[in-house]
């Protein structure tokens, strides 16, 4: 097998830069990438995929680097690793044919959103009384007159199950590419902790350097709001399902129920977080943008922003005749989010957590 021919251009560029970094090592205190790099002397294939997904893109090593452009060694790890990350999501995607969905990802996701929303609106009109679209949602079961609960569960449960399956398949391909390694409870615990705290999104303690060499913690804050907002929304849906089936208590729910509290707080977090991330993205130093930028990050954040805002608007305007159409839009966004999950920036969380698990185990081995 000709290994060199199997190496992709983004992998080669990361490997080239790693050759400089591994002879320097000044950045070893910044994040997990550099201690992981020091365990290696050569960089190829799945190893550089792994190292690149360990990178949290805090930007510090670029601004700290004496070999950053215009130096002829042209070391810019955040950009090279971002390009390889995006390429690695596509290369490991399942089914393999879906890799193309990562090219012009913004377009893919926009189309998915438009089609899903249109289908939900059209479906409501076709499947039930068109008047239900303009019904208000104050009385019990109003949502489910627009769309029967079992149908909702079947459609969304199916979409989510597919998304989870396809994502797991992708991550497993990524994991195997870097070589066999056991998953231990200790490394899982460590990695989840590091992921939950975004331990490596802080420039080693100084803060992210997104705009310039002046550190700032704003990206970390917005990411936390987005991630925990998302989890709260998920918790809201899950408790709703429990209420419905176990407590036999269908929607709508009063404001003091966990369904509502989680949902509203989550929606607010998601909206502010995603909005903030978009602003931070626009402020990013041009050198930190990756060459192969297929708009993955942007498309994903816009979807999250839509998830948050459509959910919040639906909650606020539930009692008006706009409820039906708002519900259709929100459900369309949720559905599009689910089906595109394995083929967009969403997978960064899974890849990065997998990389953190590998890193935790590797580091435990050498201690």
Partner 1 sequence: MSRYDVLIAGGGNAALCAAIAATKGGASVCIIEAAPKDWRGGNTRHTRNCRIAHNESNGILTGPYPVDEFWDDLQRVTKGHTDEELALLTLEKSAELWDFLSDNGVHFQPSLGGTLSLGRTNAFFLGGGRSMLNALYITAEDMGVTIHYDTCISALEIENDFFTAAEATHNWQTDTPQKDRIEARSFVAAAGGFEANIEWLKEAWGPAAENFLIRGTPYNTGGVLRLLLDAGVQRVGEPDQCHAVAVDGRAPKFDGGIVTRLDCVPFGIVLNAQGQRFYDEGEDFWPKRYAIWGRLVAAQPEQIGHVLIDAKSFDLFMPSVFPPEKADTLEDLAAKIGLDPATTRASVNAFNAACIPGDFDHTIHDECHTVGLDPPKSHWARPLDTPPYYAYTLRPGITFTYMGVRVNRDARMVMTDGKASPNLFAAGEIMAGNILGQGYLAGIGMTIGSVFGRIAGEQAAKAVQN
Pick one of 48, 54, 55, 61: the residue that binds partner 1 (CB under 8 A).
61
Q: Which stretch binds partner 1 (CB under 8 A): 27-35, 99-107, 171-179, 340-348?
A: 27-35
Q: Which stretch binds partner 1 (CB under 8 A): 64-72, 143-151, 264-272, 329-337?
A: 64-72
In the complex, minimum distance from the CB of residue 73 to partner 1, in angstroms, rounded to a whole number: 8
Pick one of 4, 23, 97, 247: the residue that binds partner 1 (CB under 8 A).
23
Pick one of 33, 60, 312, 336: the residue that binds partner 1 (CB under 8 A).
60
**150 near partner 1, judged by CB under 8 A:** no
Tokens for 36? 């992981």
What secondary structure letter does DSSP report for 289? Answer: S
Pick one of 49, 51, 63, 351: the residue that binds partner 1 (CB under 8 A).
63
**283 near partner 1, judged by CB under 8 A:** no
Q: Which stretch binds partner 1 (CB under 8 A): 21-29, 93-101, 263-271, 323-331?
A: 21-29
Beta bridge partners of 216: 208
Determine the size of the site formed for partner 1 (CB under 8 A): 31
Between 76 and 310, name the residue whose CB sits nearer to partner 1: 76
Q: Which stretch binds partner 1 (CB under 8 A): 34-42, 86-94, 192-200, 330-338?
A: 34-42
**65 near partner 1, judged by CB under 8 A:** yes
Between 38 and 103, name the residue whose CB sits nearer to partner 1: 38
Question: Taking the C-alpha atoms of 31, 79, 339 and 7 in order, what is their torsion angle to the nearest 10 degrees?
Answer: -100
Question: Taking the C-alpha atoms of 300, 303, 307 and 313 in order, what is their torsion angle to the nearest 10 degrees?
Answer: 140
Between 70 and 185, name the residue whose CB sits nearer to partner 1: 70
Q: Which helix (H) or strand (E) holds 89?
A: helix 77-91
* Dihedral sign (CA 109, 110, 111, 117): positive
DSSP string, 185-236: HHHHHHHHHHHHHTTTSSGGGT-B-SSSSS-BSHHHHHHHHHHHHHHHHHHH
Pick one of 3, 70, 97, 282: the residue that binds partner 1 (CB under 8 A).
70
**365 near partner 1, judged by CB under 8 A:** no
Q: Are 35 and 194 in contact (CB under 8 A)?
A: no
DSSP string, 94-133: SSGGGGGGGTTHHHHHHHHHHHHHHHHHHHHHHHS-GGGG
**265 near partner 1, judged by CB under 8 A:** no
Beta bridge partners of 208: 216
Determine the Cα–Cα distance for residues 171 and 132; give it in Å rounded to an integer.
42
**22 near partner 1, judged by CB under 8 A:** yes
Between 19 and 321, name the residue whose CB sits nearer to partner 1: 19
Contacts of 305 (CB under 8 A, 6+ apart): 270, 271, 274, 275, 278
Q: Which helix (H) or strand (E) holds 367?
A: none
Pick one of 176, 197, 214, 283: the residue that binds partner 1 (CB under 8 A).
214
* Interface of this chain with partner 1, residues 73 to 112, rule: CB under 8 A: 73
Applying CB under 8 A, which residues contact partner 1?
19-20, 22-30, 35, 38, 41, 60-61, 63-67, 70-73, 203-206, 213-214
């Amino acid at each position: 097998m000709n290994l060199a021919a199997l190496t992709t251009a983004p992998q080669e560029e990361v490997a080239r830069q790693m050759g400089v970094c591994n002879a320097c090592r000044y950045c070893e205190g910044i994040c997990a990438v550099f201690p992981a790099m020091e365990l290696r002397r050569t960089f190829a294939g799945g190893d550089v995929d792994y190292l690149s997904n360990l990178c949290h893109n805090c930007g510090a090593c670029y601004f700290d680097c004496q070999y950053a452009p215009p130096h002829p060694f042209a070391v810019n790890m955040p950009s090279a690793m971002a390009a390889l990350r995006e390429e690695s999501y596509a290369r490991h995607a399942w089914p393999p044919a879906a890799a193309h969905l990562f090219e012009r990802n913004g377009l893919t996701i926009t189309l998915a959103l438009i089609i899903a929303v249109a289908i939900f609106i059209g479906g409501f009109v076709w499947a039930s009384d068109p008047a239900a679209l303009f019904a208000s949602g104050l009385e019990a079961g109003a949502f489910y007159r627009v769309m029967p609960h079992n149908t909702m569960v079947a459609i969304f449960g199916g979409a989510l199950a597919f998304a989870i399956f396809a994502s797991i398949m992708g991550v497993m391909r990524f994991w195997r590419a870097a070589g066999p390694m056991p998953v231990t409870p200790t490394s899982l615990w460590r990695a989840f902790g590091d992921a939950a705290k975004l331990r490596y999104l802080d420039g080693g303690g100084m803060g992210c350097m997104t705009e310039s060499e002046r550190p700032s913690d704003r990206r970390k804050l917005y990411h936390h709001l987005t991630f925990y907002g998302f989890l709260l929304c998920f918790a809201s849906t899950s408790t709703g399902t429990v209420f419905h089936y176990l407590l036999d208590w269908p929607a709508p729910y009063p404001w003091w129920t966990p369904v509502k509290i989680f949902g509203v707080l989550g929606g607010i977090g998601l909206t502010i977080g995603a909005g903030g991330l978009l602003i931070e993205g626009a402020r990013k130093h041009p050198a930190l943008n990756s060459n192969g930028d297929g708009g993955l990050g942007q498309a994903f954040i816009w979807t999250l922003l839509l998830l948050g805002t459509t959910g919040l608007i639906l909650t606020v305007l539930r009692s008006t005749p706009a409820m039906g159409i708002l519900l259709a839009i929100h459900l369309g966004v949720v559905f599009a989010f689910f089906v595109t999950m394995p083929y967009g920036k969403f997978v960064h969380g899974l890849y990065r957590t997998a990389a953190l698990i590998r890193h935790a185990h590797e580091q435990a081995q050498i201690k």
